[in-house]
Structure 1
Amino acid sequence: MPSVRNQQRAHETEVADALRPEIRAALPDVSDPEVKARIAKAIAAMDPDVEAESLRWIESVSLFDNEDRDLE
């Protein structure tokens, strides 16, 4: 028969497990022709100037976060 202490530990573990959030991600099937068409449409609608600015910002942040890496 389990001791009271073991029962308490088991209960604490169960409570801790129950409090952990569960994350589920529903991702589209990229091999689905409808999904491919939706992605292609979104890409075609992108403004090249806005995308270029976004990439410049990402690169500048990357350099900020990795100041010790070699620059090319």
Structure 2
Amino acid sequence: MTAPAERMRMMRERRRGQGLRELRLVVPDPRLGSVRKRVAAQVVRLDRGHEDEALSWIEAVSEFDAPSPSER
């Protein structure tokens, strides 16, 4: 059997051949109290008016992707 590093290299090559590429994300761990406190502090500072405007825009734009009733 091939070594794990070699298997990963082969898998990446196969995926690249399919037009895919591996993407790794490193994100804050929400299980940590320090992260939860930081997020809570940021939420408190949000401006409700700006958030409502952003959500309205997202909803309006998302309608472009929805199939029309005749396409369903």
Q: Tell me the TM-score normalized by structure 2.
A: 0.63
User: Which protein has greater RCO, CA pairs closer than 8 Å, 6+ apart?
Assistant: 2
Please list every run of at least 4 consecutive aligned residues from structure 1 whose deviation after the TM superposition is greater than 3 angstroms: none
1:67 Cα deviation after fit: 4.5
Which residue number corresponds to residue 26 of structure 2? Answer: 26
Largest Rg, 1 or 2: 1
Q: Which segments of 5 or more consecutive residues in structure 1 lack a partner in the other structure?
A: 1-13
Equivalent pairs counted in the alignment come to 55
Q: Which segments of 5 or more consecutive residues in structure 2 lack a partner in the other structure?
A: 1-9
- Percent identity between the two aligned chains: 35
What aligned pairs does 1:1-72 form with structure 2 within 5 A after superposition?
A: 17=13, 20=16, 21-68=21-68
1:35 Cα deviation after fit: 0.3
What value does the CA root-mean-square deviation take over the aligned residues? 2.3
Paired with 1:67 and 1:53, the residues of 2 have a C-alpha distance of 24
